[in-house]
Structure 1
């Protein structure tokens, strides 16, 4: 299986495919938008000095939109260091133990400022379930 480094164009393409495969707007009860921003990118990923990478997913009546970049007013914006994104990205959320590990990573990162949340951190249940499935598709491919 081919792997992708978090915040690269290959990773973004694979993530967009995973989200598209898992999210069907007809089954999602309410619109929701999420932006993740990764900061402190390694130099080999962003050699031009822009040390951030953003991507978004937006579910609305128009469908599912996923891509690189940000949205002006998402329901939830998560800012995290690249290192935290890599730790989370490699972890498949398959059972209670892995979900507890995820929660521990978030708690530690929140305590030292490596992750912050802006907006509504309570994702709609169907959106959350679809995003979890997309994440789990990506975890084995994340370097």
Structure 2
């Protein structure tokens, strides 16, 4: 039983580090895309944000499917779950940022970093247990 537990810890740590690296790639993609669409192409920043959010999550889905969780399931069976998790994460993050800034006077960038850190764990657990459940 102890050996099984240590194997599970290793698998979780390895998957989590892969999940984290995918998140970094997607974050860079999002910021570069947001800049290009808004500053170079002149698209309204909220429209740019929505486009980048959709495309960045598509990239995140594909990288997590192939690299992090190595899921053999079809896209049809997983992608809606992936986007539901990410949409719920976005809504939770928006609420937490709002509360931190409005009621606790936390600087919005610090609030964003804090919610991102919380979101990493929330997203990993839900994707592992539901979106990419093997």
Shared fold, TM over 0.5: no
Structure possessing the higher relative contact order (Cα contacts under 8 Å, 6 or more residues apart): 1
Instruction: Write 1 or 2 for the structure with the bigger share of strand.
Output: 1
Larger Rg: 2
Instruction: Write 1 or 2 for the structure with the bigger share of helix.
Output: 2
TM-score range, shorter chain: under 0.3
